[in-house]
Structure formats: C-alpha cells, structure tokens
Amino acid sequence: MKKLVIYLDQNFISDIAKYKSGINKNVKPELVEIFDIIKKGVREEKFIVPDSISIKTETAAALEPRLVKEIRSHLKYLGQVSLVHHWDIQDSQFESSLLEYLKKKPPKKQEWEPAFHDNPDKRMVNFTIDVNFPHMKYESNRVESLQQARDKGIKYKSQYKEEMKANREYYKKRLKTHYRYYLHNQSIDISEAEKFIDSNNFSEIPNIDIFTRLWSKDLSKKGRKGKESDFTDIDTISAYMPYCNIMTTDNYMATNLRELSLDKKYNCNVFTMKDNDLAKMKKLLLHELKSRPPANESIFSIVCYLAEGEQTFSTKFVSLLSSAVNDFHRRIYQFDKEVYISVLFIKNHDYSAEKELSDSIVIENGKAGIKLNNALRADMVIYMNHFETLVKSPNESIEQIIAKMLDFEKGKATVLIPSNFKAINFEKSKDVDLLDDIADAIKKKKIITSKYKLNIIYNKICLIENVYIVLQNWTNKIRRKIMCYLGLGT
C-alpha cells in the first residue's frame, strides 16, 4: 500500500473525541497533536485510518450518546475505508496458505483485498456513508473459564502447544463444513488439507500465529485477572496487525506483543497512550508526513472562479463541468485507474451558505420548508461531485489561492475557468472536448488552451522554465504574424 495504514483503538479515538467536543479537556496534549498530524496526513493523501467492526461495536456501546456522535464524526476525518471482519481474514489467509502449500495458483487479487472492503489507497472524497452497528456483548462465562486455565500456572511453551493443537482440531472440523465447497471448487481432497493443517506452514499463517502466541502469553500469566476486552483485543490484533504500519492498543497487549517480537515480525509499530510511546509515535508520524509521497496526484487541476458581477455559480455550469470531468475520467481509466483531476470552486468572502439557507426557508400552510435557490442547488451539485470549495478574501488573488493548494491537488498545472464560461457544447455531448483541450495544451506546455482559450498556470516547474514557456508562446505568436505578413504561411 502507498498510504501509511494506522489502526487506532477505540480508547484512543474516544479520548480525542472527548477533548475536541469539550466533554473532557483533561486529555494529554500529545494525543491531540497526534490526531492533528494524522488528519493532515490523511488530507495530503499519505495516511489512512480504517475503521473496523470492533471499533463500531465498541463505539455503539458508549454510554454517552454525544460521545458516540463525536467518535463517528472524528473517524470520518481520518479515513473512509473499513477493514473486513476478522472471520473473513481468517478464511482468506487459510485458503491462500493452503493453495501455496499445494503449489496451486491462487486467484488474482489486489494486495489490499484480503483485509479491506475497498482500496485504502483510493482518493478521499467529501463525504462518506456511516453505518451504525449494534453493540455485541460477549458472554461473561468466557472470562471465568479462561481464568480457571490461567490460575493453573501453566508455562508459555506448554500452553502454546495446547493452543496450536486446539487450532488444528478446529480447522479440521471446518474442512467438512465451512470449507467444504471451497475444497470442491479447488479440486482439493480433504486428506491434502488435513496434511497442510498438520504442517508448520499452518502454524505460520499470520492470524493463527499471532492469535496462538498472544493467548498462550496471556494464559501463562498466573494471577492476572482477565477482562472481556481481551477477546476483542486479541481477535483484532491477530487479524489486522499484518496489514497495518501502526497500531495502538493498551499497555498489557503492547507489552505482550513486544515480548513476543510480533511487532518486529509483522513490521508494525505498536504504541500505547503512555507519554514515552506518544512521543515516539508523534516523531514517526512527522517523519512519514514529511518523507512519504502522496498516494494520489492530480494530472492537472481546475479552478473555477466567479466572473465579475456574478455572486454564485449556476447549477448548469457545475453540472456541465462535472459531466466533462466524468467523461474524461471514464475514457482515461481504460489505461490508468489512478488518474485524478482536482476541481475547486472559489467563492467570495462575503458569501454565506447559512444566510442563503435561512433566506430559502418558507412557511406554507403553517409548515416550514426549504425552497432551494440557484446558489444552494449549485452548492449541492458541487458537494455531491466531490468538488472542493475555497473562500477568497477581499485582497487575495486567484494565483495566491492556487499557491496555497497542496502539490498533489494541483498536479502539473492549474486551469482557470470563469463562471461565465459558455463554451462547453453539452447538447452535442462534446463536453469532454474541454478536458482534451486542456490536456493537449499542458502536454505542449502552452499557457492558453487552443480551442477554449483558457489560462493555464504551471505548478511543478521551476521559475526559469515557466518564463521559458511564456517567451516560447510569445515568440511563436510573433513568428506567425511575421510569416503571415510576408505571405509565407498562416
């Protein structure tokens, strides 16, 4: 994966949400700083913080409804990708390891597919859909039964053998039920699968390896009182650790992981909320933020600005531009699925969406309703197309706004389109010509597009090259005029 994958446990996110919402201001300042660094990394297409069923169920169990809302809100700042259920990861790892053992060719998959619902390297969008999960509480007798095993004082190595033996028996039973159709479809005999389960290859499956070692370590600690959260923590760590670069957890689990060297084995940095750990985590995140390139970069950007005398963008203008960008994307995706174009709309500082909305409230038959005006309709289209909006201060130029944009947003060049632009021939479905005109001009390093005469500002070139482009265009115009005057050409 191109992005740094960071797994934050529910307690970590909960403390940040408490601080940001004002529920509790007695939160370590380093924790807040880390959140802001992560948010910046996510914004710059460098970090991703996936959620999981564990986080969602623990969040749903929070006693404070306001806190639940804040946690969900803060998760949206950090990522729009979910990890699959740990059961699915278990199946995926078992099946791929079985095929590898039998020297069978596995089905072609992307690197992220075993663990994520969607590509974690995908570009962030303006909004995401939140699904609320009910709280699923484990039965308390599990803690009691495991406590009995813990009180016996069994040693780690002996417990590891017992745990691995139980795992082998469990998977052999599942061969006849859960994996029955999979074995049939892959033409694998049950005896072959049983041989694999008895081999060392089985014990090295990441999920089984981590799960078995963590439980063996836990149950060999006589005198420790187990907690319900142990089940969730070990399930979560066993499933997700191999797919994460950074993982936060409690002091107990972090100590066990480090003592077993599982963090080094699976190349995952483990941190707790201890002061020393927070300092190390902050240092690592700042290093990654500085050195890691963005996972996605625009080939070029489009900045739309209000023409003189216009207060808002029209719905038609936004829709036509959206159509042009989408058509261009669909066509170019056939060759490169990681191509993006950033589209930003610049509004004046005195524009107020709240005022526009309040002015749109109407009372009919004693009932309040909203009658959307053109400005609000345009805002909705801008938002739903994942376009961004920037606000221009009175003395700020378009060039100054572009200079503040992030490099990955701008790409090689930025094209300026005024709100009174009328050249898109939407009726004849030629709106994609606009993007072709822009792409061709940037390829030829022109400062004005050939067909629609749009201005281009080059971003990722040095000042000398920018001056050269201007002089080259100016020289070509003079040469054409001279040639035309002498009758030697047009």
**Mean local confidence (pLDDT), 36-44:** 90
For residues 227 and 61, give the distance between their C-alpha atoms in angstroms, rounded to a whole number. 16
Cβ atoms of 298 and 411 within 8 Å: the answer is yes
Q: What is the mean pLDDT of residues 95-100?
A: 95
Q: What is the average pLDDT score of the chain? A: 80
- Which of 158-172, 216-230, 355-369 has the least mean pLDDT? 355-369
**For the chain, counts of helices (H) and of strands (E):** 22, 11
388-392 and 367-370 strand pairing: unpaired
**Token duo for residue 138:** 């484990």
**End-to-end Cα spacing for the chain:** 52
pLDDT at 24: 66
Distances (CA, A) of 134 to 57, 60, 61, 137: 6, 6, 8, 10
- Examine the pLDDT at 68 and tell me if it is beyond 70: no
Fill in the amino acid letter for 267. N
Q: Could you count the other beta carbons within 10 Å of the beta carbon of residue 389?
A: 16
For position 336, what pLDDT does the model report?
53
Which tokens in the block code for residue 36?
């802001």
Amino acid sitting at position 386:
H
Pick the residue with more confidence: 476 or 327?
Answer: 327
Q: How far apart are CA 216 and CA 186, in angstroms?
A: 34
Least confident of 255-264, 312-321, 416-425: 416-425
Confidence of residue 286 (pLDDT cuts 50, 70, 90): very high
28 phi/psi in degrees, rounded to 5: -55, 130
- Tens of pLDDT along 414-451? 999 998 887 665 544 455 688 888 999 998 888 899 88
Maximum mean pLDDT: which of 285-294, 431-440, 455-464: 285-294
**Cα(118)–Cα(475) distance, integer angstroms:** 50
Please give the pLDDT value at position 28.
84
Q: What integer pLDDT is reported at residue 255 of this predicted model?
A: 95
Residue 281 confidence (pLDDT) above 90: yes
Parallel, antiparallel, or unpaired for β 340-348 and 298-305?
parallel
pLDDT digits (tens, 9 = 90+) for 102-155: 999 888 888 888 999 888 988 877 554 444 444 444 444 555 666 666 767 788
How does residue 183 score in pLDDT terms, banded at 50, 70 and 90? very high
In the three-class reduction of DSSP (H, G, I as helix; E, B as strand; rest coil), residue 342 is classed as: strand
* pLDDT on residue 136: 44
Q: In whole angstroms, what is the distance from residue 146 CA to residue 64 CA?
A: 31
3-state DSSP assignment of residue 287 = helix
Residues comprising the chain, all counted: 490
**DSSP codes, 84-103:** PPHHHHHHHHHHHHHHHHTT
Instruction: State CA 357 to chain mean position distance.
Output: 31
pLDDT of residue 479: 64
* Residue 484 pLDDT grade (very low, low, confident, very high; cuts 50, 70, 90): low
Mean pLDDT of 454-462: 77
d(CA 14, CA 233): 16
pLDDT of 432 reads 61
409 pLDDT higher than 50: yes
Q: Which pLDDT value is given to residue 129? A: 44
**Residue 368 predicted with pLDDT over 80:** no
Mean pLDDT, residues 279-289: 96
Q: Provide DSSP, 305-325.
A: EPPTT--S--HHHHHHHHHHH
Burial class (CB in 10 A: 0-12, 13-18, 19+), 421: middle
- Report the relative pairing of strands 4-7 and 47-48 from DSSP bridges: parallel
Q: Across the strands, what pairs with 341? A: 300
For residue 440, the tally of other CB atoms under 10 A from its CB is 13
Share of the chain above pLDDT 70, in %: 73
Distance CA 124, CA 128 (A): 9
Residue with tokens 């029955």: 180
Which residues are registered as beta bridge partners of 418? 305
pLDDT at 39 over 80: yes
- Check residue 178 and give its pLDDT: 94
The residue written with tokens 């707790």 in the block is 272
Q: Looking at per-residue confidence, does 135 or 159 come out higher?
A: 159
Query: How far is it, in rounded angstroms, from Cα 51 to Cα 85?
Result: 11
Q: Which pair of structure tokens corresponds to residue 424? A: 């898109």
